[in-house]
Structure 1
Amino acid sequence: MSRGSNQKFKFTYLMKVMLEKTDDEHSLTMPQILEELYKYGVSAERKSIYEDFKDMANFGIEIIKEQKGRETFYHIAGRDFELAEVKLLIDAVQSAKFITQKKSKTLISKVKGFVSEHQAKQLQRQIFINDRVKTMNESVYYNVDDIHTAINQNKKIKFKYYKWDINKKLIERHGGIYFVVSPWALLWDDENYYMIAFDDWDKKIKHYRVDKMMYIEVCNDERAGKDEFKNFDMAKYSKATFGMYHGEKTKVCIRFANHMCGVFIDRFGKDIIFISKDENHSELVVDINISPQFFGWIFSLGNDVEIISPREVVDELREYTKEFIKKYE
């Protein structure tokens, strides 16, 4: 058999054929394998293919041989990602609000490369990027990379921070000055990406929406805030900060009907302590960043939930409610 034009790439193309064309439910016969290689300008003999199959095992790619009647079939035994796992990855990409629709389609296309073309067709049937709100800042994908670079290099970053105006345009905050902070972590909360950083000027830990950050640059100055982040608990920070809005952190006692307990476990985790008050009611104490978003969450839970203490938070909620009702009188 004459040698093909891409003969030196035989092993590479053979792996490509087996990964793309075969899986647990789809196999190829040896003539079919040779035919697929020929499409890439590669000719081969059966014996050399058998040797290549053995070599593939060194790369973690096992080829299963299966006899069906008079024909012998070959297929990939397993993959780094199972079909169900790839479906989960695609679901995560689709649901992430901080990834634009354009970038979502690009990422999904790449993720589909983890499975065979037959399995990819199953994924295609389930892929649906709906009209939910997605960020319009295409650079968020690269912002995350820049922030990681700064964290790994122990450097500060500078960036411009934006907000929406009534004309649905992003405008610069604080007159377009550069924010300079020390990034320490990235947090995905409530379908948005946030950078957790230390602000030298205010000597505080703050957070910023990554999709509202632009013109990011890694600075030469080393990060500040090492002591503040030494014992920083990201989980507690996320639980206490409703909607990622700033507010004064306060220990709040909440009384609730026992059938509402799942709401608080979902929000604060299973480590919270319920204190029984009577047969049908319990209380818990949690650290909360007091904000209108927190009050709105309490309202949404209805009459079976009540803030008990501290008194200043109860009074603040009462005043907030009065002002809210005035608008509808």
Structure 2
Amino acid sequence: MDDELKKACALYSEICNRSINGRGMSVSEVKKKYGFKKRDVVVLFQFLIDIADLDHCVDFVRYGSNNEIKGVEMDNLEESASDGSIYILIYDKGAFLLQDRIDETEISLNNDTFLRSIKSNEANTALKEISNVSDTDDLNPFVINKGLRKNTRIERCKKSKLIRAILEQNMVNIVIENENHGIITKTISPLGLRYVKLLEKYELIYEENNKKIKRVDMSAITDIKLLEKKYSRSFNIYEYIKNERKTKMVLNVYDDGNVISKLDKILAEYDVSKQEEKDYIEYSFMVENADMFENMVKSYGRSVIVIEPASLRDKIYQETKKTFEFYETLSDEKTFED
């Protein structure tokens, strides 16, 4: 392996080790220990942000006088590279095997510096694959990580804090802003994260003091503070979701415009059984909330028809009827004007 890439691997692994067991690694120490200049740190930041864009857990923070954690927005990389007090955290337990795993990959490097090497497609791809926190055995029971890559740094910061709390079994304080703009503060035990592909959002699954398991949209969480207090758990997110799916959903799907292939991607996380009929395919599967499928069904028009549950079928029928009546009224008015 190229010496500069080994250097990159060593740095990445060390930051991961320190992040899991402590405060991460400060920019000042990165400069001193690895001989980085300001321009080097700028490229390092950009590389780590690229990893974070792939839904991986990279965070940039400052520590206060009382060891409190403050988030850092990396809007000006030049300025941030000069700030030695910024700490880099990477929550990737798979990084302990980083060098061995890259050694097994054929990597051809033509440049002699880490910063140029890291730009090469081969090294970049290898490091991004290795940094996938959702592949680690420790997180498998707790995180379903199928999220969109295009999320904001604030969302990534929230996700990384929650993953850290889940890994280390730390209780957290969360602040939730509800639909009426009311603010609620809770002390909870975070159990799992789930990306709901249908709604393109993350859910936090958590437990309160009364041991009742609840869910909240992560976009509603405005602040997260990790606590030193630990909690114990016996939880598997896949079993939890399976047990929550108590409503039967039946759809008749007509393959107009490749609807079936599109629908299969959306329903990939569900245990779908299919029955082929003459003109359509009947989809049958269990869901936790049938109403969340309303917009999806309506977006496919008459290509997807709800058979069960009757409540959702009737809801879509009534709304479609109102829309038809509205257009019918407009048509009558037009005829009258003519």
Q: Rg: which structure is higher? A: 1
Q: TM-score, normalised by structure 2?
A: 0.47
Q: TM-score, normalised by structure 1?
A: 0.48
